[in-house]
Amino acid sequence: MFVLRKALQDIQLKDILVPKGMHIQIPIPILHQNTNLLRHDAHQFKPERSEDGILGACKLAKTFIPFGLGTRICVGQYMAMIER
């Protein structure tokens, strides 16, 4: 799964220039491993980080999408949340 975004201005990402108006796809696993968006232990498997809900697991709720979105959302999401 990807998050789709449109550049609102020219953006330099390391050695890549993303011009204004270009559509980009960001793989969700990349977001889930970013310690600037999630917690310092983003690279470790810790299911207990979700005990306090999504906000307990990350710094910015929009960047944590462990079960997917929309019509392709994980069918086991609700079971996983009540089993914790």
pLDDT tens for 9-43 read: 999 989 999 999 999 998 888 877 777 777 777 77
pLDDT at 84: 61
Contact 33, 42 (CB under 8 A): yes
In degrees rounded to 5, what are phi and psi of residue 6? -120, 130
Contact 84, 53 (CB under 8 A): no
pLDDT at 62: 75
Closest CA to 41 of 55, 24, 57: 57
Contact 20, 10 (CB under 8 A): yes
pLDDT at 45: 81
Q: How many CB atoms lie within 10 A of CB 81?
A: 11
**For the residues of 13-47, what is the DSSP string, one character each?**
ETTEEE-TT-EEEEEHHHHHT-TTTB-TTTTS--G
